[in-house]
């Protein structure tokens, strides 16, 4: 059966594209790199050029910012959680219990950041979360509470428990009235981009044409869009968000012209991206900041994991989890899916294109990883 992707191409002219003022004031002024670089084991994550894989995808250049070893927690979410907790404690010193809901990576990161500051963490997880993800949270001394429901249900429970028990909610999504902490989380993610200031974006031209961003609630994508909008207001690279077909809430929201829940089954291997509804704050930025909203079946993400793990000729090997590889999955779909030929042309992805992707997680679920890197795909 052929793999089918779905998409929405935003109109070229989007005169309304402005960053939310309150958000951008914080985003621009904060220097998360100054904080992160003082943490033990801080190292900028590498930028890797994969020229052979680029050739096979019929593009000029492919760069991967590889977050797979960030702070030995194997995912980029450490940057947001640690910065938000640090800023909160700066303003409110003392002992606190931090809580959050998570599909895995964010909860592990909140527990890690709380432990580093000698604070407590309570993490709410959806009932079908993989055992290895629960273990990763427990290793960081996080108390795990299993919620009988999906990611949205876990968020609701974390909100209720925070209110009831006086926990400090460090949630990486936002809703009306809850924007301060998510803004700090998005500001924390900026460290990744500040590292790129030294590695890639050293001149007045971004030197890339496309950025692929795998998205769950969209907070990370909104941070990257804000960075480019501030740094290259007139020559921003084109932004493509990539979501699982069955959990495509950004795509659904742009179609409905307002924040909407996915109509998909939410059955996807890309568990980090399996969030029912976008972040209220991120959506304000992404609705105009994204050029192409793309949703892909799982097989493209699996193929991307395999292409990173079994490198082409002299390319470097990269360890990527299902969600981490999804950006490359989106690029792979645009390269090979015949039904995307028209949109590929319209957006201008071709043999001259220079593309940046991010591997946002390494091996966070080893059993799944072992199985997926050898699984047959339809791609
Ligand atoms: C590995 C990975 N990549 C990307 C994302 C997407 O981030 P966001 O939910 O902010 O869109 C997540 C979210 O958990 C993730 O775990």
For ligand 1, the distance from its centroid to the CA atom of residue 274, given in whole angstroms, is: 9
298 tagged catalytic: no
CB 34 within 8 A of CB 190: no
**Active site residue: 66, 103, 299, 337, which one?**
103
Identify whether residues 363 and 278 lie together within a single domain.
yes
Identify whether residues 201 and 226 lie together within a single domain.
yes
Identify whether residues 37 and 155 lie together within a single domain.
no
pTM, two decimal places: 0.97
If you average pLDDT over residues 226-246, what whole number do you get?
A: 97
Identify whether residues 18 and 87 lie together within a single domain.
no
Pocket of ligand 1 (CB under 6 A): 75, 77, 103, 105-106, 172, 214-221, 272-273, 275, 323-324, 360-361
List Cα–Cα distances, 265 to 114, 130, 233, 276, in angstroms: 34, 18, 37, 10
Identify whether residues 102 and 244 lie together within a single domain.
no
For ligand 1, the distance from its centroid to the CA atom of residue 85, given in whole angstroms, is: 18
Identify whether residues 185 and 141 lie together within a single domain.
no
Domain stop point among 145, 169, 193: 169
Domain stop point among 134, 169, 204: 169
**Active site residue: 65, 66, 77, 344, which one?**
77
Instruction: Work out the number of other CB atoms within 10 angstroms of the CB of residue 52.
Output: 14
pLDDT at position 13 is 81
CB 115 within 8 A of CB 121: yes
Within 13 Å and on the Cβ side, how many CA atoms surround 197? 13
Whether 243 is covered by a domain: the verdict is yes
Instruction: Work out the number of other CB atoms within 10 angstroms of the CB of residue 74.
Output: 23
Identify whether residues 215 and 300 lie together within a single domain.
yes
If you average pLDDT over residues 173-200, what whole number do you get?
A: 98
For ligand 1, the distance from its centroid to the CA atom of residue 104, given in whole angstroms, is: 10
pLDDT at position 104 is 86
Whether 58 is covered by a domain: the verdict is yes
List 124's β-bridge partners, or say none.
101, 145
Identify whether residues 148 and 291 lie together within a single domain.
no
pLDDT digits (tens, 9 = 90+) for 82-94: 999 999 999 999 9
If you average pLDDT over residues 7-34, what whole number do you get?
A: 93
Identify whether residues 122 and 96 lie together within a single domain.
yes
Element (H, E) at 289: helix 280-289
Tokens 């981009």: give the residue.
Answer: 193
Nearest CA to ligand 1 atom 16: 272
pLDDT digits (tens, 9 = 90+) for 189-230: 999 999 999 999 999 999 999 999 999 999 999 999 999 999
Atom of ligand 1 nearest to the CA of 189: 10
Whether 1 is covered by a domain: the verdict is no
Whether 334 is covered by a domain: the verdict is yes
Atom of ligand 1 nearest to the CA of 358: 3
pLDDT digits (tens, 9 = 90+) for 319-357: 999 999 999 999 999 999 999 999 999 999 999 999 999
For ligand 1, the distance from its centroid to the CA atom of residue 215, given in whole angstroms, is: 6
* Total tally of structural domains belonging to the chain: 2
SS3 48: strand
The domain containing residue 124 runs over which residues? 77-169
For ligand 1, the distance from its centroid to the CA atom of residue 271, given in whole angstroms, is: 9
Compute the distance between CA of residue 194 and CA of residue 197 in angstroms, rounded to an integer. 5
Tokens 């679920």: give the residue.
Answer: 365
pLDDT at position 377 is 96
Which of 45, 68, 77, 279 for mutating ligand 1's site (highest number of atoms within 8 Å of CB)?
A: 77
Whether 233 is covered by a domain: the verdict is yes
Tokens 């996915």: give the residue.
Answer: 262
Identify whether residues 46 and 19 lie together within a single domain.
yes
172 tagged catalytic: no
């Amino acid at each position: 059966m052929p793999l089918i992707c779905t998409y929405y191409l935003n109109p070229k002219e989007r005169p309304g594209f402005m960053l939310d003022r309150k958000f951008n004031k914080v985003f621009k002024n904060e220097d998360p790199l100054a904080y992160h670089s003082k943490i033990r084991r801080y190292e900028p994550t590498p930028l890797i050029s994969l020229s052979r894989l680029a050739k096979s995808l019929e593009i000029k250049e492919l760069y991967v910012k590889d977050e797979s070893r960030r702070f030995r927690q194997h995912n980029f979410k450490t940057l947001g959680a640690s910065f938000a907790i640090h800023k909160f404690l700066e303003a409110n010193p003392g002992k606190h219990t931090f809580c959050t809901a998570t599909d895995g990576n964010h909860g592990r990161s909140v527990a890690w950041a709380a432990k580093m500051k000698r604070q407590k963490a309570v993490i709410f997880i959806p009932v079908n979360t993989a055992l290895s993800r629960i273990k990763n949270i427990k290793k960081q001394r996080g108390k795990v509470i299993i919620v009988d429901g999906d990611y949205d249900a876990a968020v609701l429970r974390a909100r209720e428990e925070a209110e009831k028990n006086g926990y400090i909610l460090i949630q990486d999504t936002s809703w009306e009235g809850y924007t301060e902490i998510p803004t700090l989380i998005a500001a924390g993610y900026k460290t990744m981009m500040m590292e790129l200031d030294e590695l890639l974006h050293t001149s007045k031209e971004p030197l890339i044409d496309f950025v692929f961003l795998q998205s769950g609630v969209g907070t990370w994508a909104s941070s990257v869009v804000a960075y480019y909008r501030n740094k290259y207001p007139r020559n921003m690279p084109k932004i493509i968000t990539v979501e699982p077909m069955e959990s495509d809430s950004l795509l659904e929201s742009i179609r409905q012209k307002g924040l909407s829940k996915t109509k998909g089954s939410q059955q996807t291997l890309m568990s980090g991206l399996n969030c029912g509804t976008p972040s209220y704050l991120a959506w304000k930025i992404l609705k105009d900041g994204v050029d192409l909203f793309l949703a892909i079946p799982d097989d493209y993400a699996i193929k991307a994991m395999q292409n990173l793990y079994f490198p082409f000729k002299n390319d470097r090997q990269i360890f990527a989890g299902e969600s981490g590889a999804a950006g490359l999955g989106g690029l792979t779909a645009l390269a090979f899916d015949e039904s995307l030929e028209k949109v590929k042309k319209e957006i201008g992805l071709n043999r001259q294109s220079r593309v940046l992707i991010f591997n946002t997680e390494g091996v966070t679920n080893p059993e799944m990883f072992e199985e997926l890197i050898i699984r047959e795909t339809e791609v």
